Structure 1
Amino acid sequence: MKLHIKNMVCNRCKMVVKAELEKLGLKPLLVELGEVTLAEKISPEDKEKISDNLGHFGFELLEDKKTQVAEQIKTSIINLVHYAKEPLKINLSAYLSEQLNLEYPQLSSFFSEVENQTIEKYFIAQKIEKAKEMLTYGELTLSEIAYQLNYSSVAHLSAQFKKVTGLTPSAYKSTSADSRKTLDEV
């Protein structure tokens, strides 16, 4: 049985969800960002217990198909931006369609309806959060950051960064303002 869970955005989230399910005597076969596969079907009462336990950690069970798809889109984008080793070689719409086995117009419609923003805006927001992280660590040049985030140029990254944050990347780095967001807040 599969459970879809909102706000699972990192490896620690996966560990917490797995531990909580095991505390309830359940056997998770696979715990991925946003999704858990259990060995057995669960009763409505068990589902309520799971919901209560996970709710204490800021997670939420998703029942609605559109909400599940929107969460899968978010998870795919987070994986792509924050954890992928290589830049995306195809366009985002093709990537998401391939990942979720649904046509992009349907994905876009579900996402916009549930999240009140476009997939593209969410993708850009994630890329800017990753850029903020990279700028904060100070290990890469702006040119290297632009390349890793698959921007066509430093100018493109800088323009988008300023549009989203109100600051240029250099100004952001020099202010050391802690304006980074957790991934589930983006």
Structure 2
Amino acid sequence: MPEAVASPLTGWANFYVIIGSAAAALTGLMFVVVTLIAGLRTHRGSVTIGAFGTPNVVHFCAALLIAVTLNAPWQVLWNAGLILGLCGVGGVAYIVIVIRRTLRQDDYKPVMEDWLWHMVIPLISYTALIVEALLLSSHPVPTLFGIGAVTILLLFIGIHNAWDSLIYIAFERYPVENEPQE
């Protein structure tokens, strides 16, 4: 009886358990933070949250979806590639929505760093995920490293952007009232 061929995904199980757990925890933390700052929100600010807050949850959820997808016991890799490709296409479409929301909101004028971290780097990440998904069946070993890099990048994008938004809200948007003005 021939030995079963080991899936190239087997060696990635711990990596995606860690990434998936982090993404799920950070998603939950975003819900807590938004609940805590909900009293500061105005109706005008809801468009701004859609442009700068909600995408962080989407990036964390995309990382979680990638982790769950690559931990599933696939018989053939093209099935996983299909789901990852759809995730990438959805991510690209969502970044287009984020760009529109950013241009529509008037609470905050984005600077170059904002455009890079909120639009350009996520767009590159989701586009790379599409490419990696297409290559997964034919070149699984190097492609899995690329997918791993995209997943970590989405996690760090969400962390960076969440921190950036919270610092802005805490120190720029709502400064301490008794603090001397410069």
Asked if TM exceeds 0.5, the reply is no
Max radius of gyration: which structure?
2
Q: Which has the higher strand share?
A: 1
- TM superposition score normalised by structure 2: 0.32
More helix by share: 2
Higher relative contact order (CA 8 A, sep 6+): 2
